Amino acid sequence: MSIQTTSAAPALLERFNQIRKRTEIICNPLEPEDTVVQPIVDVSPPKWHMAHTSWFFEALILKPYLPGYEVFHPQYAYLFNSYYNSLGSRVLRHQRSTLTRPPLRDVLAYRKYVDEHVNRLLQELPAKDLEQFRPVLELGLQHEQQHQELLITDIKYIMGTNPMLPAYQPQAARKKQSIATPARFMEVPGGKYNIGYQGSGFCFDNELGVHEVQLEDFEIMNRLVTNGEYLEFMQDGGYGDFRHWLDEGFTLVKEQHLEAPLYWVKQDEEWHRFTLHGLEKVDLNEPVCHLSFYEADAFANWSGRRLLTEYEWEAASQAYPPQQGNFVESGLLEPAAADPAKEGVQQLFGDLWEWTYSAYHPYPGFSKAPGPIGEYNGKFMINQMVLRGGSCATPESHIRTTYRNFFHPDKRWQYTGIRLATKK
Amino acid sequence: MSIQTTSAAPALLERFNQIRKRTEIICNPLEPEDTVVQPIVDVSPPKWHMAHTSWFFEALILKPYLPGYEVFHPQYAYLFNSYYNSLGSRVLRHQRSTLTRPPLRDVLAYRKYVDEHVNRLLQELPAKDLEQFRPVLELGLQHEQQHQELLITDIKYIMGTNPMLPAYQPQAARKKQSIATPARFMEVPGGKYNIGYQGSGFCFDNELGVHEVQLEDFEIMNRLVTNGEYLEFMQDGGYGDFRHWLDEGFTLVKEQHLEAPLYWVKQDEEWHRFTLHGLEKVDLNEPVCHLSFYEADAFANWSGRRLLTEYEWEAASQAYPPQQGNFVESGLLEPAAADPAKEGVQQLFGDLWEWTYSAYHPYPGFSKAPGPIGEYNGKFMINQMVLRGGSCATPESHIRTTYRNFFHPDKRWQYTGIRLATKK
Amino acid sequence: MSIQTTSAAPALLERFNQIRKRTEIICNPLEPEDTVVQPIVDVSPPKWHMAHTSWFFEALILKPYLPGYEVFHPQYAYLFNSYYNSLGSRVLRHQRSTLTRPPLRDVLAYRKYVDEHVNRLLQELPAKDLEQFRPVLELGLQHEQQHQELLITDIKYIMGTNPMLPAYQPQAARKKQSIATPARFMEVPGGKYNIGYQGSGFCFDNELGVHEVQLEDFEIMNRLVTNGEYLEFMQDGGYGDFRHWLDEGFTLVKEQHLEAPLYWVKQDEEWHRFTLHGLEKVDLNEPVCHLSFYEADAFANWSGRRLLTEYEWEAASQAYPPQQGNFVESGLLEPAAADPAKEGVQQLFGDLWEWTYSAYHPYPGFSKAPGPIGEYNGKFMINQMVLRGGSCATPESHIRTTYRNFFHPDKRWQYTGIRLATKK
Amino acid sequence: MSIQTTSAAPALLERFNQIRKRTEIICNPLEPEDTVVQPIVDVSPPKWHMAHTSWFFEALILKPYLPGYEVFHPQYAYLFNSYYNSLGSRVLRHQRSTLTRPPLRDVLAYRKYVDEHVNRLLQELPAKDLEQFRPVLELGLQHEQQHQELLITDIKYIMGTNPMLPAYQPQAARKKQSIATPARFMEVPGGKYNIGYQGSGFCFDNELGVHEVQLEDFEIMNRLVTNGEYLEFMQDGGYGDFRHWLDEGFTLVKEQHLEAPLYWVKQDEEWHRFTLHGLEKVDLNEPVCHLSFYEADAFANWSGRRLLTEYEWEAASQAYPPQQGNFVESGLLEPAAADPAKEGVQQLFGDLWEWTYSAYHPYPGFSKAPGPIGEYNGKFMINQMVLRGGSCATPESHIRTTYRNFFHPDKRWQYTGIRLATKK
Ligand SMILES: [Fe+3]
Ligand SMILES: [Fe+3]
Ligand SMILES: [Fe+3]
Ligand SMILES: [Fe+3]
């Protein structure tokens, strides 16, 4: 990771407290029962997220750097380690839902205990000592933000697979009628582009290994693909026509009888979709979301266009600098329709993670850090695809032009969407 | 089912209220988080048990017999039907753990609502009308008692698979030191025996079809097999020697690396077992429990004896009339050591369900009732083995000499144990 | 096993040579390619059957009793042991199809080698020495006959799952038009019956433990259930109506989309069935075959009757002594229609194995032999149902009134059928 | 595909006949039994390969272009279509081993029939008509060559999983003692490279979309990694140390208890490996082979180097032009030790396919052909890794500098090996 930030301890502490508090705000509307289940292996119980992010600070900051620190509970490291082999054995991922105990209130006490000790550490420590662990502390905050996004997607899955379809955040009249924005393809000139993080703030190790790439001219869609456009694909028999699909994707479609994005439900002959505010009619102008890479790619093939590579996406975001995005701070928790009044390329940031046709592999010159931090990203660099730009569940301060998110191509429970490219 | 009971409505109502209340008492020590999980498909979430038993009264009593009754919630029939195809579609068994909603407090409100309406029905109805549904109401109470036993075993499993091994009911110094009771084999004379329920109270349909069987002389062990005796089998390499095992059992042993009963844990070179009161040292004089049929049969083969058939068990319980048993009312929630002072055959009732070497099949003349009641027992009469005598988790008023419990031969999470027989 | 036969060595030798030769005659129409595959785990490759039955004689007769015998190949014991833990490790059952080598011609040479040595042993041995191993030799012959039947059913499966549906034994105009025999129910009086083998010939150990049972009066169908009768069940929606089915059976029906017996194929709106002579139109008067226990039981429930227990079947066959049956010697290799001219109960022997509603459990007093022979039957006494009477693939000399065959209730690849019973 | 070749029909015909004949030569040492099995889903039965390659010519050449052509057998299209949805339904891949019929001799007759008709077509057709289908015919020949390589790897797997470890091609004293070639790292200068096929011969569609890439300086190992080097990794505990592994790879290692390359067997404390010539002692100077991508990557991490990308590999092969390689024509059928006398970079071609750290994705500008040809490559462009350079099982005329082979990262049954790179 790259950490050149040198903010003073007080500022850092305030940021720590704000971010930590935000996790609890997200979980506030939940019943204790909601916090313990794991309906699919991808989804972690909210209680687990809350404890795991605390364990991260305990294991990597408090234990090594706060003299005399005593762990909150001797078994929590075993219960709440996610995947760090360097940090000992742990509950297997698919067994996270067996952890009815510790109950929610104990986990909240654990958070409080960790927070108090981090506060003490930051308040009492001589300034120079902070430098020893500032990068890890920063990583802990970024990690917490990542889990905040996962919390939202996991809560959505927990609610959305309950036959009662309970709303996480009921909202009367979520928004006024949306307006259509015609699709246009905007030029991005070819040439040499620098890829990877070159700034002075935080970035993950997978963004390092800055390197030049050579691109040809291409064009990029001015906004995300909409529900209306995707519905055309569906109505044209898109899910039934092998010609549009990668072979493994088409096999999945048949095995799982897929015929629409995740959370879509047909009621009274009309398509609805489950949102965190309850069931809604599908809005044709909003971006289509909760798609697998396979669906995104099949749609692109059907449309005669293609997905971008992650290099093209990064180049385009250099050519069309980010506008205000729909991040988690908007409170919408769902993607919003594009704005017909806007010029240029919209929605590159926020709204939905955009599937690219790039495998999540190391950049040239990538190297893993020694110790547990080295297990953060590198060991997942196989069989996953890169997504770019953040979503309506991403904290605005968490995202960057060079940020590389990654999921297996069959995953649909994240806020994922489609942007098309085409040759000039 | 057979119901000739004619107790007046007030007595019946009191019994109804007592039994319903007992379910809630069992769940009282639970956290809301405990009530929603399903660590294996055999275990149902406690919240589900509480709602399902209420739905049983709603579907089979209130809807048909209480004029103008409105269901508590239109979706609950879908959520809490267990396996009654006659009563509509339902959440699949292995998905019960996805039901974080309705939360526990709604389920408790549902119970209250159903109870109030059953009370109203029984209080207001003309006496003669009661006869219409008295058998189904009685069945509902027996059903509630069955689920009370399942609640205890399921709670034990939920706690016992948590790495923290939380106690359901902490208990300092559970009992004084136990004393050994030497094993003796007691004669049961051969001849004709009547099998099946002939009384005038309640019984399940699977106990009907009374018939004569012809038995030869045999001998029955005076008590259940103890932990000490089972430990000898283990120490003699019992789990590793194919000669003692049914082939499917030995395959299971190897696949799952079994080497001890469920809930046994070796700590500091000594065997402990998880109980509802926490982890305890294994007491050599207590009955060994949480065994599969395969383990029970392998132990019997190793010992040179055999298991009883269900006919032999029923004959023996006629020859050695029941003594006071260790049922759920004792509050022990674990089997207790036999009493060396007692003559005759002990522990036939209570303590542990005894695996018999009898498949759970229809008695001659068995016939299913029409409608949903017909789905109660008959459709499970394949691939399961009969167990007899009730356990320390069974309500005393629920058990009978003719009672036939049944589980697949690999199941270990019930309170199951071993009694041996031998030829004279 | 029980062997009191005292036939002289020459007669025994002739029988040995005849039975061994019969195995090769069965395999004669096969291509080498047919002899190596295992389309489902239940089916063994024909080449394996041929080698395994030879290994049985090598391991249990030649090695212990023929001085100086050298095994044909040091690895064959590993390759062709089926399930005898006492006789060393072995290729796992589901990997039998990987054995392309030794090729068929080596297996035939193995058979020849074993046969020659058994001939030498029997010709040269002093008569008194024969008594040492006569029982095992007899068991080897019975074992060979069992595998002959399995060869026929396994070959049928191998051919019947090939999209080309090749005939094993093409047969122009297999038979003249069949005639219907009306169903009648014939009385069998209740009372005491002796169950189990009491003769002086060969029987398996699972037939011993002779014991009395007490039966009530019942009636038995005069012939097997026909294709026509089963078709009525199908046309009445039998496969779709849960009320007729055991729960595990109905689950299977839905999971595997079952709608007809195994080998039934609809062509041009008409039901056909694959036979060893190729595809044929379903003959309404012939017995319905290749059914699971679940299907047999569901049909019985639909018809308002029930299956027999194995005790009832044995009692009925005492009451209605066997007539000439359709065994493998008839060469039909398929069940034949009943004979309307015949009085009494037909088809008890031959044609089809009849599913009984009796689990395959030990008779009272059953005991396993020590050593490998003890693994022959006893370790399979769980989760299987007894079938009685033999089939059109059974050698006539192999079957007895007391013979207990057994399969798991979902199996359909054997020649299995239905006979109904009813209360008087 | 790109086909500008304009060789006259006679030359083409001769090539056709040579290539077709080569397939049969490969299968010559097989028993009929060897040709029908499918021990894992990746492996196809040799009989199937022989028929499938013939069906390819029948479906794509003879049916459309030979007037009046009658297919050899109406069901063969169903039996021997591999994955072309455009060409109708087919036997599922994992059921190929059920096809005992047609027997081998029918498949050989099928080959003869197809060959005769292709000969007739090429001999009788007016020259100008050839141009209509010359590209597809060329594709058919390349396809046949691909299946020739698969035949060799599949035969190796079939033999190598047989407990008898039969040799495909026994060979006394395969070679003289090998000599070590020290590892050196050779410079490849960075800069712009053209990637993709620009010649005038045949190439697959996945090599088109020629484009420039920008590379940095790097160094490449002068030969393949040897058994001796890999053994050091093993002896250093490489398979047990998570730090070297991608997470999915390490999970696989634990689940499958991997501890050595495929086909390695420890005998008398010494490592041997199964080859097509039988079991041999591991030669420390020969290239290590039959590794998954995970193993290749873990070895690279352990060694402090890394794998190449496919771009780097292609650039290196421009910098170090191919020397004579060990292809299938050498008859070795196993990789050979490098030559210490040679300068430069050896073994880029032949010996072993080299795993690259590049996902098999479309080049920029890739487009699928319409119709069945479009299903040849494109639909597999997900979750697979690119391998370069051909192997000792590849026909020399089949390989090119730009050739992209691809397998899932867990596959080990191909002739796969490791070449390392490092930053300058
Ligand atoms: Fe984490
Ligand atoms: Fe129930
Ligand atoms: Fe056998
Ligand atoms: Fe092919």
The predicted-structure confidence for B124-165, as pLDDT tens digits, reads as follows 887 778 888 999 999 999 999 999 999 999 999 999 999 999
User: Of the candidates C85, C211, C214, which has its C-beta nearest B242's C-beta?
Assistant: C85
Measure B78 CA to nearest chain A CA, in Å. 9
pLDDT for residue B1: 55
Ligand 4 centroid – CA D53 distance (Å): 6
**Is C88 within 8 Å of chain D by CB?**
no
pLDDT for residue B96: 81
Domain with CATH 3.90.1580.10 in chain A: 185-423
Length of chain D: 424
Q: Which residues of A touch B100 (CB under 8 A)?
A: 31, 33-34, 36-37, 158, 162
Q: What percentage of chain B has pLDDT greater than the value 70?
A: 97
Measure A112 CA to nearest chain B CA, in Å. 20
The answer to whether D65 and D132 have CB atoms below 8 angstroms apart is yes
User: Of the candidates B31, B39, B100, which has its C-beta nearest A98's C-beta?
Assistant: B39
Q: Which residues of D touch A248 (CB under 8 A)?
A: 382-383
| Residues around ligand 3, an ion, CB closer than 5 A | C 82
Length of chain C: 424
List all chains that touch chain C, counting a touch as 3 or more CB pairs closer than 8 Å.
B, D
3-state secondary structure of D391: coil
Ligand 3 centroid – CA C80 distance (Å): 9
Question: Which ligand has the minimum distance to the alpha carbon of residue A142?
Answer: 1
Angle between helices D293-303 and D227-235 (to 10 degrees): 80
Yes or no, beta carbons of A249 and D380 under 8 Å apart? no
Domain with CATH 1.20.120 in chain A: 9-160
pLDDT at B172 over 60: no
* Per-residue H/E/C for chain C: CECCCCCCHHHHHHHHHHHHHHHHHHHCCCCHHHHCCCCCCCCCCHHHHHHHHHHHHHHHHHHHHCCCCCCCCCCHHHHHCCCCHHHCCCCCHHHHHHCCCCCHHHHHHHHHHHHHHHHHHHHHCCHHHHHHHHHHHHHHHHHHHHHHHHHHHHHHHHHHCCCCCCCCCCCCCCCCCCCCCCCCEEEECCEEEEECCCCCCCECHHHCCCEEEEECCEEEECCCCEHHHHHHHHHCCHHHCHHHCCHHHHHHHHHCCCCCCCCEEEECCEEEEEECCEEEECCCCCECCCCCHHHHHHHHHHHCCEECCHHHHHHHHHHCCCCCCECHHHCCCCCCCCCCCCCCCCCCCECCEEEEEEECCCCCCCCCCCCHHHHCCHHHCCCCEEEECCCCCCCHHHCCCCCCEEECCCCCCCCEECCEEEEC
DSSP bridge partners of B362: none
State pLDDT tens for residues A183-228.
Answer: 999 999 999 999 999 999 999 999 998 999 999 999 999 999 999 9
pLDDT at A2 over 60: no
pLDDT at D416 over 90: yes
Residue in chain C nearest D80 by alpha carbon: C163
Yes or no, beta carbons of A32 and B33 under 8 Å apart? yes
Question: Which ligand has the minimum distance to the alpha carbon of residue A149?
Answer: 1
Q: Which pair of tokens denotes residue B382?
A: 């394949």
Question: Which ligand has the minimum distance to the alpha carbon of residue C51?
Answer: 3
Question: Which ligand has the minimum distance to the alpha carbon of residue C142?
Answer: 3
Yes or no, beta carbons of A97 and B31 under 8 Å apart? no
Question: Which ligand has the minimum distance to the alpha carbon of residue A54?
Answer: 1
**Is B177 within 8 Å of chain C by CB?**
no
pLDDT for residue D126: 77
Ligand 2 centroid – CA C263 distance (Å): 38
Least confident of A107-116, B97-106, D21-30, D249-258: B97-106
Residue in chain C nearest D94 by alpha carbon: C39
pLDDT at B173 over 70: no
**Is A293 within 8 Å of chain D by CB?**
yes
Q: What is the mean pLDDT of chain D?
A: 94
The architecture that CATH gives domain D9-160 is Up-down Bundle (1.20)
pLDDT for residue C129: 82
Q: What percentage of chain A has pLDDT greater than the value 90?
A: 84
Q: Which residues of B touch C374 (CB under 8 A)?
A: 243
pLDDT for residue C76: 96
Ligand 2 centroid – CA B84 distance (Å): 9
DSSP bridge partners of C385: C359, C407
Yes or no, beta carbons of D361 and A362 under 8 Å apart? no
Q: What percentage of chain D has pLDDT greater than the value 70?
A: 97
**B57: nearest Cα among B173, B138, B163, B145:** B138
| Residues around ligand 2, an ion, CB closer than 5 A | B 82
Q: Which residues of B touch C381 (CB under 8 A)?
A: 246
User: Of the candidates A212, A248, A309, which has its C-beta nearest D382's C-beta?
Assistant: A248
State pLDDT tens for residues D383-393.
Answer: 999 999 999 99
**Is C104 within 8 Å of chain D by CB?**
yes
Residue in chain B nearest C424 by alpha carbon: B365
User: Of the candidates A192, A211, A380, which has its C-beta nearest D247's C-beta?
Assistant: A380
Question: Which ligand has the minimum distance to the alpha carbon of residue A48?
Answer: 1
Q: What percentage of chain B has pLDDT greater than the value 90?
A: 84
Those residues of chain C that have pLDDT short of 70 are 1-7, 172-176, 323, 424
Interface test with B, best of A27, A30, A31, A33 (most B CBs within 10 A): A33
User: Of the candidates B32, B78, B161, which has its C-beta nearest A98's C-beta?
Assistant: B161
Q: Which residues of D touch C99 (CB under 8 A)?
A: 162-163
Measure A254 CA to nearest chain B CA, in Å. 22
**Is B270 within 8 Å of chain A by CB?**
no
Residue in chain C nearest B422 by alpha carbon: C365
State pLDDT tens for residues D309-366.
Answer: 999 999 999 999 876 899 999 999 999 999 999 989 999 999 999 999 999 999 988 9
pLDDT for residue D243: 95
CA dihedral B341, B346, B349, B354 (to 10 degrees): 140
**Is C268 within 8 Å of chain D by CB?**
no
Q: What is the mean pLDDT of chain C?
A: 94
pLDDT at B226 over 80: yes
> In whole angstroms, what is the distance from residue D334 CA to residue D352 CA?
9
Q: Which residues of C touch B87 (CB under 8 A)?
A: none
DSSP secondary-structure letter at B192? E
Ligand 3 centroid – CA A101 distance (Å): 51
Q: Look up the CATH superfamily of C185-423.
A: paralog of FGE (formylglycine-generating enzyme) (3.90.1580.10)
pLDDT at B318 over 80: yes
**Is B216 within 8 Å of chain C by CB?**
yes
Tell me, yes or no, whether chains D and A touch by having 3 or more C-beta pairs under 8 A. yes
pLDDT at A8 over 80: no
Tell me the whole-structure pTM to 2 decimals.
Answer: 0.96
pLDDT for residue C6: 52
Ligand 1 centroid – CA A109 distance (Å): 19
Residue in chain A nearest D294 by alpha carbon: A382
Q: Which residues of B touch C246 (CB under 8 A)?
A: 379-382
pLDDT at D172 over 70: no
Burial of A88 (0-12, 13-18, 19+ CB in 10 A): exposed
Q: Mean pLDDT over residues B5-24, rounded? A: 88
Ligand 2 centroid – CA B146 distance (Å): 8
pLDDT at D2 over 60: no
Cα D253 to chain centroid, rounded: 24
